Structure 1
Amino acid sequence: MAELLQIKSQVKEFQQEYVDKNSHAEENRQKENQAATRIQSWFRACKVRAYLSHLHKQAVIIQKIWRGFTARARFRQMVKAAYFIMKMNFYEEMAVRIQRRWRGFFVRKYIHNFYTRKSYLEGVSQKNELVRQELDELEELQKRERDCLEMVKEQTAKVYQAYRLHHLLSTKQCPGVFNSPFRPAPHEMEQLLRQVKYQAPTRGRGCLLVVMDKVEVLAVEVVRPGHRSPFLLFIHQICRIQFREPGEVWEQHVHCPDLTLRLQTSHTHLEEAQKQLRQQQYEYMLRLFEDCFRPRLIYSVVGTGSMLHHLSHSRSPFTHPAYAKSFRYTQTQLPGNEE
């Protein structure tokens, strides 16, 4: 019974305590709810911030990995392009070297052959020496002709002077002006006066002295002494003879003295020699450019194919082969490699 009473008393105390606690909890419910809400919000904020930080870190890692991947791919492309460019530059340089060697060999062998050019230059030098010798001979010939012309002019002038001074010729009775007794030998003019024949002056006609020159002709008119003008025929006189040509009459009346020194060549010898020399030079230049140094083509069609010939055996005209356009020829064989 005591225990039952004790339990009943505890039940009452429990109820009272329960009521007190409920009332006390009801009084602090809103305050505790706000505190719990604040604690929950703070905890959730911490949790969200930690999660966001974790997401940021993971995003940074993902971005780092992706950017590294893309950068490595781009770098591989750049390296590949740079390697391709370097390889192409190297190949182009090697191709240029090969083309330079081949073109040099091609030009030296088939276009500008050294030995052919050397022989050509030797021929030109020999021809120049020959031309120089001929020009020297021509110059010497012209000089001799000029000297001869000068001598002819001097002799002609002396002859003409002798004709004019023929009256000063010495005689047995009286010595002349040029034959002085104080001289050991007679003067040159005295000897010339003895050689020249005396010629009486004609009426109104001149003594024509033709000098051996292609330009100058010396004509001297001799008039009778005491007359200022040539004689004229009387008007009342009637010519009953048959008239002749004026040129024939002139040649008959004009008398040319015999010169003691004459040229051995014609008057136009210099012009003919120059013309002949120019003709020889022209023919030599034509023969030189046609035969002596004629460049050859390396490809000449033989049958249905093309054959490569040596320069010394080719007779093709001078053309510049387009060897730089294409190096591929069909049905071509090099000399010495025929099968």
Structure 2
Amino acid sequence: MAEQLKIKSEAEEFQKEYFLRNSQAEENRQRENQAAIRIQSWFRACKVRAYLSHLHKKAIIIQKIWRGFTARARFRQMVKAAYFIMKMNFYEEMAVRIQRRWRGFFLRKYIHNFYARKSYLEELSRKNELVRRELDELEELQRRERNCLEMIKEQTAKVYQAHRLHHLLSTKQCPGVFNSPFRPAPHETELLLRQVKYHAPTRLAPRGKACLLGMPDSAASFPSSLGSPWIKTTGTFCFSKPILPPIVSKKQQGLFREPGEVWEQRVHCPDLTLHLQTSYTHLEEAQNQLRQHKGTGSMFHHPSHSSNSFTQPA
């Protein structure tokens, strides 16, 4: 009995130890499995990295060899092109030298003769002198023509001014502005005023139709009636066309009048030679009469000339 109890107790202890050993082995088995997995993954990673490094090195070697080959081929092409360009430049330079030598020899031998060229240059210089002399003569002729035209313009301007200033002519009763008693002889303008006859403009001359000095067309008709010697020459330089008669139209009434009529009223003057031979009190009488009729707008007659009528502007 004692032995059976001893054996039974030993069996229970063995069973407990067996269960304990099995639980410990199970725990160690999971830890060892995880450790083995980690070791395998590390080893495989090292293997793959080593393989990739090997492939990278081989790829670098292949690229290096290929790039060296292509660079050497490109360099050989560049050397060939540079050599070809250098050779062509050398050939062109040699060809230019040969052409220069040949052309110089040909021109000196067959084309350019020194004595013929010398005679040609001498003849050319003589011809230049002749042309210059002719040009100087032409310039002198043109200058004389310009001076003549300027003189004619000045004379025409003086005659035109004399037509405009004819009312300043001296008379028996009153000496003119240009006939001062302090002068030993009359002024040049006074002499010109004596030769010119007064013409009152009838209409306003159209702009743009003028002679050399830009005067109205009415001045172009003055030289035909003058007696001075230079007035006849000015008619050839005035290219004024004959003015056509005005178109007859219905006369405007009221304040609207034609420009020619207004111009005639503003510049029309009676005959100065007759007007200045009246009495000395004629001016005061005319001023008194003008004061009486001022503001009425009616027609008034000049005391000495009933035919010259003026209309007071509105």
Is the TM-score greater than 0.5?
A: no
Where is the strand percentage greater, Structure 1 or Structure 2?
Answer: 1
| TM-score of the two chains, using structure 1 as the length reference | 0.33
The structure with higher relative contact order (CA 8 Å, sep 6+) is 1
| TM-score of the two chains, using structure 2 as the length reference | 0.36
